Amino acid sequence: MDGPSGSGKSSASRGVARALGLRYLDTGAMYRAITWWLLRQGVDPADPAAVAGRAAEPVLDVATDPDAPGIRVDGVDVSAEIRTQEVTAAVSAVSAVPEVRARLVAEQRDVIGAGDIVVEGRDIGTVVAPAAAVKIYLTASPEARALRRTAELSGTTTVEAQRAAMARRDTLDSTRKADPLVMAADAVELDTTELNLEEVISEVLALVKERT
């Protein structure tokens, strides 16, 4: 399941995995974890050479239980720390570095293994798992996405600020040279603007039943 931030990927992916008894992988958390570690090490996320030079160092351990997702870096649970505004502002730059992507794509494929998993991200259907039986591209209007993210952040930001931040990240993610955010040719696009979470999950489950 691919799509931009605020489209509902995380909640929908966990709900679908829970309903089908499958594992769940949040690939975005892996990029955020690398970003968090680099910031802690004083590495400038805007310096691709510096990022590439150290991206292989931290050890990541990502949980695949949809009821208890999380991630550890060098044995430390950073599930909350990777969601800060500081990490959010830097993760697109780090994600654009080819060495970072090569490392994490390989690790993501190892986690996916033989399948039985719902994976969310920005390049899953195009790069990480191009042979996946079901590919979905979630989207929503900029207003809906900004409203959702503002609600998630519990008053620590404004809708206007979130909309601007998302527009910037959309541009960075969709124009990077390495594995840009695009919809796979054989993916089904699902606009979640007017749908609640239960409706999105229902739509995805129907598609899975149809395709498998």
Q: Is 4 part of any domain?
A: no
Instruction: Give the pLDDT confidence score for residue 169 in this predicted structure.
Output: 81
The CATH code of the domain that includes 18 is 3.40.50.300
Residue from 177, 172, 182 nearest 98 by CA? 177
Q: Is 102 part of any domain?
A: yes
Per-residue pLDDT tens over the stretch 154-197: 767 788 888 888 888 888 888 888 888 899 999 999 999 999 99
On whether the CB atoms of residues 60 and 15 are closer than 8 A, the answer is no
Does the global pTM surpass 0.85?
A: yes
Distance, CA of 144 to CA of 51 (rounded, Å) = 33
Per-residue pLDDT tens over the stretch 122-154: 999 999 999 999 999 999 998 988 888 888 777
Domain span including residue 121: 9-211
Q: Please name the residues in contact with 205: beta carbons below 8 A apart, sequence gap of 6 or more.
A: 16, 19, 20
Instruction: Give the pLDDT confidence score for residue 155 in this predicted structure.
Output: 65
Q: Is 164 part of any domain?
A: yes
Locus of tokens 């990502």: 62
Distance, CA of 21 to CA of 177 (rounded, Å) = 36
Instruction: Give the pLDDT confidence score for residue 80 in this predicted structure.
Output: 95
Q: Please name the residues in contact with 27: beta carbons below 8 A apart, sequence gap of 6 or more.
A: 104, 108, 119, 120, 121, 122, 124, 128
Q: Is 207 part of any domain?
A: yes
Average pLDDT, the chain: 93
Locus of tokens 């160092």: 57
